[in-house]
Amino acid sequence: QFHMIKYEDLKWDESLGQGSFTRIYRGHKTDIRDGENYTTEVLLKELDAGHKNCWESFFESASLMSQISHKHLLLVYGVSVHGVQNIMVQEFVKYGALDLYLKRGRSVSVSWKLDVAKQLASALNFLEEKHIVHGNICAKNLLLAREGDQSQGISPFIKLSDPGISVAMLVVLDRIPWVAPEVLDAPDDLTLECDKWSFGATVWEIFNNGNSPLQGWDLDEKRQFYESFQKLPPSQWAELADLITQCMDYQAALRPSCRSIIRQLNSLITSDYEILHSTEPVTQ
Ligand SMILES: Nc1cnc(-c2cc(N)nc3[nH]ccc23)cn1
C-alpha cells in the first residue's frame, strides 16, 4: 500500500543518529521523469536488521503516513527493501526535531510557540476526521521545516513525523507522560483520545523549551505519577495551564475535541499575554 523505491535509486549521505531500532541518514533519491534525472534530498530511516519482529509496525507507520497527505504531516516517499535491510524514505525536513531545536536554546516567542501548537492541533484535527490515531505525539516527532522570522512576520512551519515503531513495541512506561494512562492497561487499543493526552504533554514541552516533562524520573516514579493521578507542573499562564490540564484529563472521554483545542489556542493567540507579561511564561 505504498510506493516501493529501488535501492539503486538511493544515495546515503551523513548519518544523523539513531532512534529506537532504527538508524537515520540524510540522503538523496533519484527519479527519472519525462527523461530528466531529478534528485531529491531525503531522510533514510533504516530498520535494524536484528529487529525483524517489528518491521510490520515499521511499515504500518510508513503506510499510515503515506495513505494521507496534509501540509503538517511528514511526506513518506516510500520504502526500499534490500536483502535484510528495510528502509523508509521520507521527505527531508531542514531543521529536524523540535525538542532538539528548542533545547539548543533558540529563544522563540510565545506567539511562535502558539503557532506551532496550533499547527499540531490542525494536523490532529485532520487525523481525527479520518479516524486515524497517530499514537506517538511528542516534540521529538515534530519536525521544523521553517524557523520563521518574527521581524518579517514569517511564522514557523512544522511537520508531524511518523509514529515510528508502535507503542506496544517500546517500553510503554518509558513514554510516560506522553502516553495516555489508559494505554498502560491496554497498549493495543490506542484511541483518538490518546493523541489528545499526548498533545497536552507536547504543548507542555514546547512551553518548557523542549525539556522533557518528568526528565530523569525512573520507570517506577513514572508509573507512580499515573497511579497517583499527578499532573505536570502548571504554567504560570493560567489559560495555557488550563488547556494542558483539559487535554491531560485522566478520564479520556472528558478530553476536549480538536475543534475545542483549536478554539482555545485561538483565544490564547489573541490574548495579549506577551504584551502584558514581557517575560516568557516561566514554569517551575
Ligand atoms: N524527516 C526528517 C527527520 N529528521 C531530519 C533531520 C534534520 C536535521 N537538520 N537534523 C537531523 N538530525 C536528526 C534528524 C535530522 C530531517 N528530516
Which residue's alpha carbon is at the smallest distance from atom 5 of ligand 1?
Answer: 96
Stated length of the chain: 284
* Residue 280: predicted pLDDT: 52
Q: Quick check: 283 pLDDT over 80?
A: no
pLDDT at 274: 64
Flag the least confident range among 169-183, 186-200, 228-242.
Answer: 169-183
d(CA 122, CA 128): 10
Question: Cβ contacts of residue 36 below 8 Å, gap of 6+?
Answer: none
Q: Which of 12, 15, 16 to mutate to test the pocket of ligand 1 (most atoms within 8 A of CB)?
A: 16
Q: What is the reported pLDDT for 151?
A: 87
What pLDDT is recorded for position 272?
66
Residue to substitute in 12, 26, 88, 102 for testing ligand 1 pocket (most ligand atoms within 8 angstroms of CB): 26
Band (281; pLDDT cuts 50, 70, 90): very low
Q: What is the rounded distance in angstroms from the CA atom of residue 221 to the CA atom of residue 173?
A: 10
Ligand 1 geometric centre to CA of 267 (Å): 32
Note the pLDDT of residue 284: 37
Burial code of 135-160, b = ≥16 C-beta within 10 A, e = fewer? bbbbbbbbbbbeebeeeeeebbbbbb
Does residue 278 surpass a pLDDT of 70? no
CA of 97 to the centre of ligand 1 (A): 6
| Digit-coded pLDDT (tens) for 208-251 | 999 999 999 999 999 999 999 999 999 999 999 999 999 999 99
Q: For the segment 117-175, what is each residue's pLDDT rounded down to a tens digit? A: 999 999 999 999 999 999 999 999 999 999 999 889 899 999 999 888 776 766 788 89
Q: What is the SS3 assignment for 244?
A: helix
- Within 6 Å (CB) of ligand 1, which residues are found? 16-17, 24, 43, 74, 90, 92-96, 143
**In what order do the strands lie in the sheet containing 76-82?**
10-18, 22-33, 36-47, 85-91, 76-82
Cβ within 8 Å of residue 151, ≥6 positions away: none
> Which tens digits make up the pLDDT trace of 50-92?
777 777 888 887 787 788 899 999 999 999 999 888 999 999 9
DSSP class of 215: T
Share the mean pLDDT of the chain.
91
Higher pLDDT, 21 or 126: 126
* Ligand 1 probe mutation, 40, 93, 98, 103, most atoms within 8 A of CB: 93
Distance from the alpha carbon of residue 16 to the mean position of ligand 1, in angstroms: 7
CA distance 235 to 201: 12
Percent of the chain residues topping a pLDDT of 90: 73
Cα(98) to centroid of ligand 1, in Å? 10
The protein residue with its alpha carbon nearest to ligand 1, atom 7, reads: 96
Q: What is the ipTM of this complex?
A: 0.96
Cα 22 to ligand 1 centre (Å): 13
Across residues 6-32, what is the average pLDDT?
Answer: 94
Model-level pTM? 0.91
Name the closest-CA residue to atom 4, ligand 1. Answer: 96
Question: Could you tell me the distance, in angstroms and rounded to a whole number, from the CA of residue 145 to the centre of ligand 1?
Answer: 10
Measured in Å, residue 103 CA sits from the centre of ligand 1 at 15
pLDDT higher than 70, residue 39: yes
- For ligand 1, atom 11, which residue shows the shortest CA distance? 96
- The pLDDT of residue 50 is 74
User: Could you identify the atom of ligand 1 that is nearest to the CA of residue 95?
Assistant: 9
